[in-house]
Amino acid sequence: MNYDSKHHCLWLGAEKRLFRYDIARKEFQEKQLFSNNTINTISIDSSGNIWVGTDSGICTYNDETGNEKYLMHSSRSNKYVIWAIFEDKNKNIWVGTDSGLSLYKNNPFVQIHRWEDMSDQNEGNRMTCIFKDSRGNYWFGGTNGLGRLAPGKKQLDWYKVSDKHFFISHDRIRSIYEDSDRDLWVGTNESINRFDYNENRFIHYTIMDSAQIRSADWCQSVFGDTEGHLWISSFLGGVFRVDKKNLIAQEGRIYLAEKTIIRIPEGSDYPATGYKLPYWINWVIYGSQQMGMD
């Protein structure tokens, strides 16, 4: 899923289906594209092109011209299974695959960077999210931890739950976000983590609703608003709104969210401690797991 600010719409990928959701009109439109490809991730570049990562490579699409293009394709190998796509300030496209990283510059040449070479270890990592922070660090999240490539370095730091020096709460990395205060937040299967640049370590936060029934585990995304809140979406837990300053001050303790937005099934005995989601938001949040979106 990705937000298209130019057209004020959401792009959502599913099993061999691509949808465009018009936020103003509250209308879904299915695009008859990539019908033979499972969509794993969607990204939008600075020119407004839609980049779609699939099980067999990368596809690009321009909604204004209708042009579509296949950049890499293979049906025989997992080399081109695409899990993450990111555009840097130089308009280079970074691609996360089962085999590591690919760098697509503004030409047909593709550079392949093996994770084992970057980490100097014999373990692999399926890349599911890529991010560059305001300090120039590249962050590579996957199913086996989080890598940080600092400016001027060729070898990355690898944060994993089993590493005492480079610890993070869970090895399954689902989202990376930098807020307006330049704080870096990482969503994992074990809630969220904030990176302390001074101490070079991650701080883990456990977030639950007021009834302490639902948690922010399996964090799908993190977003900060202009009023000092963090919005955290999680699989099954719903959406949590927390006061960022209060959250940081309560390090090491369970934090009860100020607001929880949940989908309450019909006939459920779940206490009404939150706000019920509109149907389309339910579809976006819960569909991300049930229908294969990333």
With bands split at pLDDT 50, 70 and 90, how would you rate the model's confidence at 34? low
pLDDT at 2 over 60: yes
> Which of 49-53, 79-83, 145-149, 215-219 comes out lowest in average pLDDT?
79-83
pLDDT of residue 118: 64
Q: Residue range 29-57: average pLDDT?
A: 83
Burial 250-268 (b: 16+ CB within 10 A, else e): eeeeebbbebbbbbbeeee
Rounded Cα distance between 143 and 140, Å, is 10
> 119 or 5: which carries more pLDDT confidence?
5
Strands (E), 143-216: 145-149, 157-159, 173-178, 184-188, 191-196, 201-205, 207-208
**Residue 78 DSSP symbol:** G
> 135 or 24: which carries more pLDDT confidence?
135
pLDDT of residue 76: 47
Rounded Cα distance between 115 and 147, Å, is 9
Digit-coded pLDDT (tens) for 71-119: 765 544 455 788 889 888 878 888 888 777 777 765 554 455 566 666 6
Digit-coded pLDDT (tens) for 108-145: 544 555 666 666 666 667 788 889 999 999 999 989 99
pLDDT of residue 226: 87
CB atoms within 10 A of CB 11: 23
CB atoms within 10 A of CB 24: 8
* Residues contacting residue 209 through CB under 8 Å, at least 6 positions apart: 215, 237, 238, 240, 256, 257, 260, 262, 273, 274
pLDDT of residue 4: 82
Structure-block tokens of residue 195: 């990176």
Digit-coded pLDDT (tens) for 148-165: 989 888 788 999 999 989
> 49 or 268: which carries more pLDDT confidence?
49
Q: Residue range 4-29: average pLDDT?
A: 81
Structure-block tokens of residue 104: 């697509």
Q: Is 280 helix (H, G, I), strand (E, B) or coil?
A: helix
Digit-coded pLDDT (tens) for 236-293: 788 899 999 999 999 989 999 998 876 544 554 444 334 434 333 433 433 333 333 3
pLDDT of residue 293: 30
Q: Do β-strands 207-208 and 255-256 pair in parallel, antiparallel, or remain unpaired?
A: parallel
